[in-house]
Amino acid sequence: MECCILRGSKEIGGSCVELSFESERIILDIGLPLDSKKDPKEELPNIKGILKKTDDLKGIIVSHYHKDHCGLLPFVDKNIPIAIGHIAREIINTSAFFMKKDYRIETYVPLENKKSFYLGKFKITPYLVDHSAYDAYALLIEAGDKKLFYTGDLRAHGRKALLFKYLLKNLPQDIDTILMEGTCLGQIDENQSYPTETQIEEDLINSLSKIKGISLIVSSGQNIDRLVSIYRATRRLSKTLVIDPYVASILEATGNKKIPQFNWKGIKIFIPEWQRSLIAKKKSFNITKKYKKQRIFLKDLEKSPNDYVFMFRSSMMMDFDEFPQLLKNGEIIYSQWSGYLKDGTEDNLLAFATRFNLPIQNIHTSGHADIPTLKNLLETTNPKMLVPIHSFEPKQYPTLFKNVEIKSDGEIWTV
Binding site for Zn ion (CB under 5 A): 66, 68, 133, 153
Q: What are phi and psi of 311, to 5 degrees?
A: -75, 105
Measured from the CB of residue 291, what is the shortest distance to Zn ion in angstroms? 29
Measured from the CB of residue 131, what is the shortest distance to Zn ion in angstroms? 6
Measured from the CB of residue 364, what is the shortest distance to Zn ion in angstroms? 15
Query: Smaller CB distance to Zn ion: residue 67 or 384?
Result: 67
Query: Smaller CB distance to Zn ion: residue 132 or 234?
Result: 132
Give the length of the chain: 415
CB 146 within 8 A of CB 175: no
Query: Smaller CB distance to Zn ion: residue 70 or 327?
Result: 70
Query: Smaller CB distance to Zn ion: residue 11 or 331?
Result: 11
CB 181 within 8 A of CB 368: yes
Query: Smaller CB distance to Zn ion: residue 181 or 244?
Result: 181
Query: Smaller CB distance to Zn ion: residue 305 or 367?
Result: 367
DSSP secondary-structure letter at 91? H
Measured from the CB of residue 59, what is the shortest distance to Zn ion in angstroms? 20
C-alpha 110/C-alpha 343 separation (Å) is: 37
- Using left for φ > 0, alpha for ψ between -120 and 50, and beta otherwise, residue 275 falls in alpha
Measured from the CB of residue 106, what is the shortest distance to Zn ion in angstroms? 23
Measured from the CB of residue 390, what is the shortest distance to Zn ion in angstroms? 6
Cα first-last separation, the chain: 6
DSSP 336-372: S-GGGGTSSTTHHHHHHHHHTT--EEE----SS--HH
Query: Smaller CB distance to Zn ion: residue 356 or 392?
Result: 392
Query: Smaller CB distance to Zn ion: residue 34 or 360?
Result: 34
CA nearest neighbour of 247 among 214, 223, 264: 223
CB 111 within 8 A of CB 137: yes
CB 158 within 8 A of CB 150: no
Strand pairing class (240-243; 308-311):
parallel
Measured from the CB of residue 13, what is the shortest distance to Zn ion in angstroms? 7
CB 108 within 8 A of CB 85: no
Gyration radius from the chain CA atoms: 22
**Pseudo-torsion of CA 324, 329, 335, 337, nearest 10°?**
80
Measured from the CB of residue 211, what is the shortest distance to Zn ion in angstroms? 30
